[in-house]
Amino acid sequence: MNKLFQISAFMICAFSFAQTTPQDSITFNPQRQLNAAQRLLSGNYGKAITVGAYGETTYNQPEGKNGELDVQRLVLLFGYKFNDKAQFVTEVEFEHVKEVYIEQAFVNYSVGSNVSLRGGLMLVPMGIVNEYHEPTTFNGVERPAMDNVIVPTTWREIGFGVTGRLSEASMGYQAYVFNGFKSTVNSDGTVTGFLKGSNGLRGGRQKGAKSTISSPTLSTKIEYYGIPGLRIGFSGYFGKTQAADEIEDIEGANIGISMLGFDARYALKRFAARGQFIYAGLSDTAKYNALTNRDLGSALMGYYGEIAYNLLSLEKKQRLFIFTRYENYDTHAKTEGGLIRNDANNRTDITSGLSYHIAPGVVLKGDYQIRSNALENSNVDNRLNIGVGVWF
C-alpha cells in the first residue's frame, strides 16, 4: 500500500510540473496544430522529462438496440530529452480498460533547426486523423469511419526516416521506411489471410509486435502551409505486404500496395473546414483470395468533407462548434478475378453534432449519424453518440 502511495504521489507531481503546454484542437490555426508527439518534442522547456495524456469515454446508442458505454482509450505520454539534439517519445495506450498497447516509441535526433532523423515505432503519415487523433483535435465522438477502414487508424509500424521543413517554401516533409502489413500466416498447414473485404488492410497492422518483414515499404508526406489558415497534405505509401517465412514464396501470399492521400484543413475566425481523399490500389488480390479464401478488393477508396462553425464569440475562452461531415468509403471500389463486388462495403455516413470545448484540453461531444450502404434493401442502424475527451 505504501509503494502504491509513493507511485501515485510521483505521478501527480510529474503531471503537475512536467506537463506540456495546453495548445490543442481545431479551434487553433491548422498551421500551428501539434499532435501529441510533436507537443512532447517541443514542450520540454528545459525539463528532461515531459509527461501528458489523452483519453476519451464514449456512449454509443444504435437505434433499436442497447447502448454501449466504454472508456475507449487512455493514452499516457512520456518524453525524455537526452540533450539538445536527442529525444525519446513514447505513448502507452490502454484500450477498453483491459487492453494495453505501445502506440509510439521512437528516438528523434535533430540534425539541424529544421531537419530531424527518427527511428522506432511511429505513426504512418497518411491523412489527418492517423497523425492527429487526440479527442480534442477532431469533431464527432467517433473518428471518421474511413480513417478506421481505409487508412487504417491508428496505423503505426517500426521504421526509420527523416522529417523537416523548408521554411522558404512554406513546406514540411516526412519520409520513412517501414515494415509492411502482415498478409498471411501458416496455421497448421493452412494458409490464413489477415486482409479482407469489409475492412481492407486493417487486420494486417503489425503494430510493432514481433513484426515480420520480407520487403520494406516507403511512406512519404508533403505539407504546404503558405496560405494563411490553410494546411494541405499529400501522402504516399508504396510496397508489398509481409508473409511468414515458410509461405512467403507461395503465389498469392503477398499483395502490392500503392496508397495515395490528399487532405486539407482550413480555419478563418469562427469557421473551420476539413476534407480528405484516400485511394489504395492493391495488386495480386485474385491470387491472394484464391489462396486464403478471402474477399479482398483490388481498390479501396474513401473521402469526406466537413464544415464547422463556432457559435460563441472569439472573445470567449470556450468554443462551441456545430458541425456536419459527409463521408463515403468503399473497400470494394474495384475487385479482381471472379470476386463479385459487395455493395455492402460501399458505405456512407452523415454525422452532425456539437463539440463543446469547455477549457483548453477538455471537450464534450454529441452527434447523430445517419448510416447507409449501397446494398439494395440493406438496413444499417443510425446511431447517437455522446462522449467526453481530454488531452494535456
Contact indicator for 233, 220 with CB cutoff of 8 Å = no
Question: What is the secondary structure of 361-384 as a DSSP string?
Answer: TEEEEEEEEEEEESSTT-----EE
CATH number at residue 236: 2.40.160.10
SS3 of residue 189 by DSSP? coil
- List the grid coordinates of 39: 507537443
Question: Residue 23: its pLDDT value, please?
Answer: 43
- List the grid coordinates of 227: 496560405
Q: Which residues pair with residue 171 across a beta bridge? A: 166, 224
What does each of the 392 residues of the chain score in pLDDT, given as a tens digit? 444 334 344 333 333 333 333 444 444 589 888 899 999 998 755 678 999 999 999 999 999 899 999 999 999 999 999 999 999 999 999 999 999 999 999 999 999 989 999 999 999 999 999 999 999 999 999 999 999 999 999 999 999 999 999 999 999 999 999 999 999 999 888 899 999 999 999 999 999 999 999 999 999 999 999 999 999 999 999 999 999 888 999 999 999 999 999 999 999 999 999 999 999 999 999 999 999 999 999 999 999 999 999 999 999 989 999 999 999 999 999 999 999 999 999 999 999 999 999 998 999 999 999 999 999 999 999 999 999 999 99
Identity of the residue numbered 102: I
Annotate 189-215 with b (16+ C-beta within 10 A) or e (fewer). Answer: eebbbbbbbbbbbbbbbbbbeebeebe
SS3 of residue 317 by DSSP? coil
**What is the C-alpha end-to-end distance of the chain, expressed in Å?**
28
Rounded Cα distance between 154 and 165, Å, is: 24
Report which secondary-structure segment, H or E, holds 285.
helix 285-292
Of 261, 360, 363, 268, the residue nearest 307 (C-alpha): 268
Report which secondary-structure segment, H or E, holds 188.
none
Indicate the DSSP class of residue 244: -
Rounded Cα distance between 82 and 110, Å, is: 12
Identity of the residue numbered 299: A
Indicate the DSSP class of residue 312: S
- Work out whether the CA dihedral 175, 261, 35, 242 comes out positive or negative: negative
Domain encompassing residue 263: 2-391
Q: Which residues pair with residue 159 across a beta bridge? A: 120, 178
Question: Residue 361: its pLDDT value, please?
Answer: 92
Contact indicator for 200, 296 with CB cutoff of 8 Å = yes
Contact indicator for 381, 66 with CB cutoff of 8 Å = no
Helix residue spans in 18-88 (DSSP H): 36-42
Question: Residue 28: its pLDDT value, please?
Answer: 58
* Residue 268 CB coordination number (10 Å): 11
- Give the chain's length: 392
Parallel, antiparallel or unpaired: strands 271-283 and 256-268: antiparallel
Contact indicator for 78, 49 with CB cutoff of 8 Å = yes
Question: Residue 86: its pLDDT value, please?
Answer: 95
* Residue 90 CB coordination number (10 Å): 18
Q: How many domains does the chain have?
A: 1
